[in-house]
Structure 1
């Protein structure tokens, strides 16, 4: 919230310089960057905020050039055609990951605003101002210390990374405590999520390489030491035999040591009555030796496994399906807005771009939330217009909206209300005519357009996003299984493949949950997908248990494990066949 409030500083400077129009692109860049400003590490924010900002700046420049070519007045051919092509490309790219999705949104929104908002600055200057506003927020994200941080815990720029790694050890402890009980499945899923967040937190550029290299290497090594712990804890949870309660105390002490950047101290007495407990004990001893290493001793290089998204998805069926719908929405909303010849015609396609994004929730839900949020925001702004306020008052209102934006992102309707007030304030500062209720009309038209296009029977089959995510998860599980059976002693590669398998499974489950929440006309195309995800999860858990057996016992894989592994593979084949039978139009 503090960063959101301070993000209005470029706008304040422009107002003090009597150039409020120049501050509008900077405020837009800061606003869009603020939507992407989520909890996490500083290093991950560089790509999460910076890369979409670069895309938005290029969109602002291309939109301004389009406005120069199209000229004033209506353009029922050129502008919709350009936005359609841009939407097709940006939509396809958006299907490859969250950062790419933010890039696709910003390039489209900025292009629409650059083409429609009348600002005195030329296109290159608008683009630079947009990038400066986003860069200012990124600078604040990089240099401001985290609130409530502990003193004497090392460089504050590593607070997010340390907290993410500590959460992994705590998740291991919770899984060990829940083993044998009804909460073991949820604890295993939570551990996988904690590993994903820690991996994202550490996978970014070093902010000050020389000053922080020692602390960063130590943190990477401690994260790598958590992989064998996670593997052993997963194997124990799969077996369903509760370990002694004292064993969960070791990971808890390591979590505290990560936060304090110190040693973990003495560990509880080991328990080595089976392969899983032996693996856990060896993982604890290996981590303890790393934690208690003297600060001056050199650390071995530990490379955090990176999850590389499948870039070819942009050209695959999922990318084509999403890109086509974004393109149709852009063309339809632009045609309607150009035909109406409204002064703020760019609002309609810009709103449609936000609404068509599938990662904001089910289609009907986000449309209703957008409508309700826009009406509420417009009503609040209409009341504020009755109060006497100069330019300083509008800047203060925008700063307040920027501060509320991080909290508002927790609910799409609240976020829409805050963004509506912020955008109307920027329009007021830019010198455009008041358009409070026009904003409501444009948003409702965009809601109707997106709701119609989202359910149109476009060429091709539906549900490609879910099928692509499931195919990725199945392929990752098969790679993991093949490596465990062929090279069981390669722990580093096994850990990376296990991470890829669980992470791909989590992405598939998220896609399935989103599709299941859609209206029946859309949800029916992915019927049976949940059964495939359950079969993949059982296969990956069984593979992890087999890996522990192969590494921590001299004999080959026990016959019961081999039989269960074969049963899991058969179960996966049956689930995929059943999913295809349940939804003939979308064979998984």
Structure 2
């Protein structure tokens, strides 16, 4: 059902589209992860400086490799989740490094090759089971690649411990802010929901309403992930977690009311759109400055970091404090015009949506907001065949890359299998786009580090360049995979040079990257071209089932159960939309048409909006039944 079919008016003057420059760049200066960039510079420079001062060059380089991988996994999630991800990644990488090192010390390249293939099978078998498992599996394979490709002098245990020391340095610096602002990440995530709700109410009755409601869903998903640990704990003695939980549970209810008001498709006056911000001020009165510069804590990622070795594409970030003040100022400037405008807004004073918003706002003045038991949605099970096929294809690609490396370079041909490990991650996003960004980032990274070495070969200057590229990589991990690859490529060249390999490998590394990407693309699209489409179909079916479950059970469910059903439905719909986008971004067989998942997902989202409206008596039941009659997507053959 389109906006026109629902009788929505045209674009309102308040809905000014962002500038073309902002859309092209996609990053606002206020949302750059400056603290993460600073950590990336420090954790890469410190091991190299220590190694230069102490003479322990090899351990310092291995520690810098651990720090490099740690930077690729540094994020904006709560500190405990961050430490868990980095810790498991470090342990997996150290285990892989030890296995590769022992295979290399055996003296037979066959042992190294077998170790790589076994590691690829293990990594592929666990990678599709979750984000943390995927990261650990990839770094297990990367550890074997480095351990089997670079000879490590000294005792066998020295290199794995040095790698863990580098990862540990990232963990310490990344989690250190917990000591003085323990709950700021959770606070920023909850506040982002209230800002997104205000923006959605401002967009009500305009073509921008659907996108604004989806941003609200993304903010709620992020807040639920951030608050998961606090919601599951039985001990609520600390006042700040108790305050945050109360605000979060109110935000969950606000999401339902906002969806109902957006479904009404009427423009709302500024006094109404400001209600979520006023609720946030009452529920979280100690609103310190949002830590937008600490790894983007105020942003709302769209999902597990989709690319850049954990990352990828984030949803539009929540407004920073400055932009929030600007928004409030704009609303204040419009308030003088709102009296005359309000006469033609056609928003009934007795609208059930407005009554629900008024009642919810009034509840924030009283203690004891009822809690909602929320659980993360289950990952759609694609079957054992998908896991086995990916593991076998990854192992085959690594084997072919290793054989090519032995033919082209002999020992130290680690770049080819390492690139395969980075590129062939279908759960991180479209494989074709990842391969393309990898090649582009490598070319620019080689050119950048080549320019630096032409200007200077001073050790301190090169360490300074590593710090700069580390900061650039930390930003790229959050915003663009090619940018992250640029930084990583330049850093690896310096690290290899510190290990004594002074060969001119600029052209060879570009060709190796292109060859590894070609190996992955040929294997993937020749033997498993429907992987992205199958994942999108599975997630869409699971999301539609969640939406219909919400439709069927909401009328008779208790409020807490209704909110849990609603949140699960919107979460799975958002995941399905991302999977559908990835599937359409992948090249497919010529002449093959993919199901229209987006239409089915959009219809299901409108169904959930209609159910929310019906629950609050804001829409006739016929609207719900009309929305539910849209067909589901056609299953894949």
Q: Which bin holds the TM-score, normalised by the shorter protein?
A: 0.7 to 0.9
Q: Does 1:105 align with 2:105?
A: no
Question: Does the 8 A contact of 1:88 with 1:323 survive in 2?
Answer: yes
Matches within 5 A, 1:361-510: 361-409=429-477, 410-437=479-506, 438-458=508-528, 463-487=533-557, 490-510=558-578
1:139 aligns with 2:172: yes
1:231 to 243, 249, 256: 256
Separation of aligned partners in 2, 1:460 and 1:82? 29
Greater shift in the superposed pair: 511-520 or 431-440: 431-440
The equivalent of 1:6 in structure 2 is 42
User: Aligned ranges for residues 67-216 of structure 1 at < 5 Å?
Assistant: 67-68=104-105, 71-75=106-110, 78-144=111-177, 156-204=181-229, 213-216=238-241
- Unmatched 5+ stretches in structure 2: 1-36, 289-334, 336-346
Q: Which has the larger share of helix? A: 1
Whole-angstrom CA distance in 1 between matches of 2:452 and 2:76: 31
* Contact kept in structure 2, 1:29 and 1:131, CA below 8 Å: yes
TM-score of the superposed pair, with normalisation by structure 1: 0.83
Gaps of 5+ in 1: 146-153, 291-298, 553-557, 581-585
CA distance in 2, matches of 1:352, 1:484: 47
Contact 2:236 2:242 in 1 (8 A): no
Checking the alignment, whether the CA contact within 8 Å between 2:123 and 2:138 is kept in structure 1 is yes
Paired with 1:523 and 1:29, the residues of 2 have a C-alpha distance of 45
**Cα displacement (A) at 1:74:** 3.0
Residue matched to 2:309: none
Q: Which moved more, 1:394-403 or 1:442-451?
A: 394-403
Match of 1:255 in 2: 280
Please report how far the alpha carbon of residue 80 of structure 1 lies from its aligned counterpart in structure 2 after TM superposition: 4.1
- CA displacement, residues 171-196 of structure 1 (integer Å, 9 cap, x when unaligned): 11111222222211111101001111
SS in 1 for 2:501: coil
For 1:548, which of 591, 597, 616 is the aligned residue? Answer: 616
CA deviation vs aligned residue, 1:448-467 (integer Å, no higher than 9, x gap): 21221121134987722112
Give the aligned CA root-mean-square deviation in angstroms: 3.3
| CA displacement 1:256-300 (0-9 Å, x = unmatched) | 45665269xxxx9x986133222222221222324xxxxxxxx78
2:583 to 495, 515, 519: 515
1:283-302, aligned counterparts within 5 Å? 283-290=360-367, 302=371
Give the C-alpha shift of residue 79 in structure 1. 4.1
Residues 100 and 287 of structure 1, relative CA distance in 2, 3 Å threshold: farther
Cα distance in 1 for residues equivalent to 2:394 and 2:568: 29
Distance across 1 between alignment mates of 2:252 and 2:80: 22
Tell me the CA shift for residue 232 of structure 1. 0.9
Match in the other structure for 1:565: 624
Partner of 1:27: 64
Provide the C-alpha distance between the structure 2 equivalents of 1:509 and 1:337, rounded to a whole number of angstroms.
39
Superposed displacement of residue 513, structure 1 = 0.8
Q: Distance in 2 between matches of 1:60 and 1:300?
A: 51
1:575 aligns with 2:632: yes
- Greater displacement, 213-222 / 521-530: 521-530
Residues 332, 421 of structure 1: CA spacing in aligned structure 2 closer, same or farther, 3 A cutoff?
Answer: same
Q: TM-score under structure 2 normalisation? A: 0.77
Deviation at 1:316, TM superposition (A): 4.0
Q: 1:503 to 1:116 in 2, by over 3 A?
A: same
> CA 1:311 to 1:509, structure 2 compared with 1: closer, same or farther past 3 Å?
closer
Q: Deviations over 1:368-416 (max 9, x none)?
A: 3322322222233233334453443333222222122122332332222
